[in-house]
Amino acid sequence: MYGKVMSACLHGVDGKLVEVEVDLSNGLPHMSIVGLPDSAIKESMERVRAAIKNCGFQFPLQRITVNLAPADIRKEGAAFDLAIAVGILQTSGQLQLERSEGTIILGELALDGSVRPVPGVLSMLATARENGILRAIVPSPNAREASLVTGMELGSIDHIADLKAGTDSLFRCSRSLSASAAGSDTMYAPRQGDNFSDVYGQLHAKRALMICAAGMHNILLLGPPGTGKTMLAKRLPSILPDMSEQEALDVTKIYSASGKFADRSSLIQERPFRMPHHTISAAGLVGGGTIPKPGEISLAHRGVLFLDELPEFSRAVLEVLRQPLEDRHVTIGRARAVYRFPAHFILASSMNPCPCGYYGSESASHPCTCSPLKIEHYRAKISGPLLDRIDLQIEVPRIDYGQIIESLPQLSSEAMKEQVDKARQIQLDRYRDTGIMFNGELYGKLLRTHCNLMPEAEAMLRKSFEVLGLSVRAYDRILKIARTIADLEGSQQLNASHLAEALQYRCLDKKTPV
C-alpha cells in the first residue's frame, strides 16, 4: 500500500517542498526513513510510533518505508513528524483526510500525540503558495504566524486525535483566525526612549547619521571614550525609514527560520538592530554550522549591524564582512548544498583613536600614553579594504561643560526622521523600476547616470582623488554620499558644496600625523 502527503523543510531561510511517501508492505515489523534525513528526523520514528499508539490508533505491524523526496536534498528538523504520522494512518486505512494531496502538513509530535510548533513556518508556507498549494495544517501556536501568508486556507491542530473529525473541521475553526489576522494591524510599537534629543551637542555626528539613514550608507564613529559614540549608534534605528511590506516579510522570514520570532501574530515592522560582542566567531557573524543557520549579519538584514569597539574584533572575523558588504548576501557552501542568506544591512561601528583612547584629545587629566607604533598597530587591525567599504568616517570629539548645561533644544529623532523620509521618497521616485531603493545601492551605469557632478565639483573631486590617494571604491562611495546630501536638500544637481561635505566624512583617508 502506498500513500503520499506534502510537507516542507527549511533550506537556509527559504522553504523547500518535500513529498512524504509512505509504503506499507508485508514482512517483519520495521520502520525506516530514507531521503537524507538528519538525526532529528530519524528519531521521529519513535515519536510517531508512540503518538499513534497513545491516540487510540493502531500502529501497523508491517514493514514501513518513508521516503522524503527529493532524495538528494538534506532534510533537518522535526517538522515532518505530523506529515509522517498522517501518511501512515492514511495508507493503513485508519484515517481519511479530504483533499490531502493539495494540503501541506507541518508539525512536531509529542509522545502523547500533541502537536508542537516548529520554526520557519512563514518561509515554508510562502514557498507552498508559490507552488500552487493553498491549504495548510499547522500547529496551533504557529497559526498566527501562518496567517501572515495571504491567500492560503489554514487549519490549526493541537492534537493528532483532532484529525479523527476530518480536516474540514480544522479549517472551519481556523477561518475566523485568518479573517481577523488579515484585518489586524501588523505594526510593532516603536522603541521608546531612544531619541537623539538625549545626546548633548554632536551636531556633526547627528548630521552624518542622518545622511547614513537617508541613503543606507555604512558609518564609523571615531572618538575618545565617553563622547557618545555608542549612544549615537543605538539611536540610529529611530530615524531609519519605515520598512515596506516586502522588507517586513523578508525580515520576518529570517527570524522565523532562525527560531527567534517571539511575536508570531504580526510581521516585524521595526528595522533590526544587532550588536554582537567582540568575541563573536566568524560563523556566528556570517552564519554556519553543519547545516548552516543565519548569522548576525543576516539577522540585521534591512536594519543595522553595530560593531562597538571595532578593533577589538578579531581581524579574521572582520574580513568576512567584505563580501557581504558588496554583494548584499552571504553564500555558504557545504558538500551537499550551497546556502544563500540575505545580508542587506547598514554597518555601523565605533572605535577609539588609539589603544588608550585619548590621542588627539589630550587633556591634563587624560594624556595619551600611546607611542606612534602602538597607534599604527591598533589602527592596522582594520584592513584598508574594509575601511574602503565604510562610506562615512566621522570624528566624535569631546564636548565641553557648557554644551551639557545649556538649555538649547537638542536635535530630535522626529525632526531628523522627517528629513530622512523626504529624501527616501525622492530616491523611491528616482529609482522606480530599477530594482534598487537607496543611494547606497547605486552601482555601475546607474551611479554614473544619477551622480553627474557640476564642473566645479568635478575639479574638486579630481584634486582630492590625487591628494588623498583614494581608491576607485572610495570614489564611488563619495559620489553616493554626495547624492544623498543633495537629496536631503531637495537638489537635483551635485554641486561643490555637496561634494565638499561628502569629502569631510572620510577622516581616515587622511594620513594620520603620528
Instruction: Please check whether residue 224 is in contact with residue 357, taking contact to mean a CB–CB distance below 8 angstroms.
Output: yes
In the chain, what are the domain boundaries?
2-182, 196-399+408-509
Give percent of the chain with pLDDT exceeding 90.
62
Q: What average pLDDT does the segment 168-174 reach?
A: 61
Look at residue 101 in the predicted model and tell me its pLDDT.
78
Better-predicted residue by pLDDT, 408 or 303 = 303
Query: Does residue 409 carry a pLDDT above 70?
Result: no
The cell numbers describing 386, all together, are 574594509
Look at residue 514 in the predicted model and tell me its pLDDT.
36
The C-alpha atoms of residue 80 and residue 37 are separated, in whole angstroms, by 10
Q: Which of 1-15, 112-126, 231-245, 258-272 has the least mean pLDDT?
A: 258-272
Query: Does residue 45 carry a pLDDT above 90?
Result: yes
The C-alpha atoms of residue 267 and residue 142 are separated, in whole angstroms, by 13
The C-alpha atoms of residue 423 and residue 485 are separated, in whole angstroms, by 9
Instruction: Please check whether residue 125 is in contact with residue 10, taking contact to mean a CB–CB distance below 8 angstroms.
Output: no
Q: What average pLDDT does the segment 243-251 reach?
A: 91
The C-alpha atoms of residue 204 and residue 394 are separated, in whole angstroms, by 8
Query: Does residue 181 carry a pLDDT above 70?
Result: no
Q: What average pLDDT does the segment 425-442 reach?
A: 93
CA distance to 134, 415, 418, per residue, from 99 (Å):
11, 55, 52
DSSP for 82-144 reads HHHHHHHHHHTTS---TTGGGEEE--EEPTTSBEE--TTHHHHHHHHHHTT--EEEEEGGGHH
Q: If residue 286 lies in a helix (H) or strand (E), which one and from where to where? A: helix 282-286
Q: What average pLDDT does the segment 210-223 reach?
A: 96
Query: What topology is assigned to 2-182 in CATH?
Result: Ribosomal Protein S5; domain 2 (3.30.230)
Note the pLDDT tens digit of each residue in 62-96. Answer: 999 999 999 988 888 899 999 999 999 999 999 88
Query: Does residue 151 carry a pLDDT above 80?
Result: yes
Look at residue 73 in the predicted model and tell me its pLDDT.
86
For residue 371, the tally of other CB atoms under 10 A from its CB is 12
pTM here? 0.87
CA distance to 321, 357, 400, 494, per residue, from 314 (Å):
12, 19, 34, 39
Task: Please state the separation of Cα 459 from the chain's center in Å.
Answer: 40
The C-alpha atoms of residue 307 and residue 242 are separated, in whole angstroms, by 23
- Mean per-residue pLDDT of the chain: 88
Note the pLDDT tens digit of each residue in 358-381. Answer: 887 766 577 888 898 998 899 888
CA distance to 130, 238, 252, 312, 369, per residue, from 151 (Å):
10, 33, 18, 48, 65
Better-predicted residue by pLDDT, 178 or 82 = 82
Q: If residue 184 lies in a helix (H) or strand (E), which one and from where to where? A: none
Look at residue 468 in the predicted model and tell me its pLDDT.
85
Query: Does residue 510 carry a pLDDT above 80?
Result: no
Look at residue 172 in the predicted model and tell me its pLDDT.
59
- Residue type, position 326, single letter: E
Better-predicted residue by pLDDT, 108 or 74 = 108
The C-alpha atoms of residue 309 and residue 279 are separated, in whole angstroms, by 11
Angle (nearest 5°) at CA 433 between 428 and 436: 55
Please provide the CATH number assigned to the domain covering 196-399+408-509.
3.40.50.300
Look at residue 167 in the predicted model and tell me its pLDDT.
62
State whether residue 300 is helix, strand or coil: coil
Q: If residue 59 lies in a helix (H) or strand (E), which one and from where to where? A: none
Which residues, in sequence order, are bridge partners of residue 103?
A: 135
The C-alpha atoms of residue 138 and residue 157 are separated, in whole angstroms, by 6
CA distance to 26, 120, 294, 310, 324, per residue, from 333 (Å):
42, 21, 13, 27, 15
Q: What are the φ and ψ backbone dihedral angles of 372, each rounded to 5 degrees? A: -55, -35
Query: Does residue 513 carry a pLDDT above 90?
Result: no
- Residue type, position 382, single letter: I
The C-alpha atoms of residue 508 and residue 281 are separated, in whole angstroms, by 26
The C-alpha atoms of residue 105 and residue 81 are separated, in whole angstroms, by 9
- How would residue 446 be classed by pLDDT, with cut points 50, 70 and 90? very high
- How would residue 198 be classed by pLDDT, with cut points 50, 70 and 90? confident
End-to-end CA distance of the chain: 81
107-125: string of b/e by CB count within 10 Å (b at 16+)?
bbbeeebbbbbbbbbbbbb
Q: What average pLDDT does the segment 380-401 reach?
A: 89
Angle (nearest 5°) at CA 310 between 481 and 512: 70
The C-alpha atoms of residue 392 and residue 507 are separated, in whole angstroms, by 8
Instruction: Give residue for cell 555558504.
Output: 332
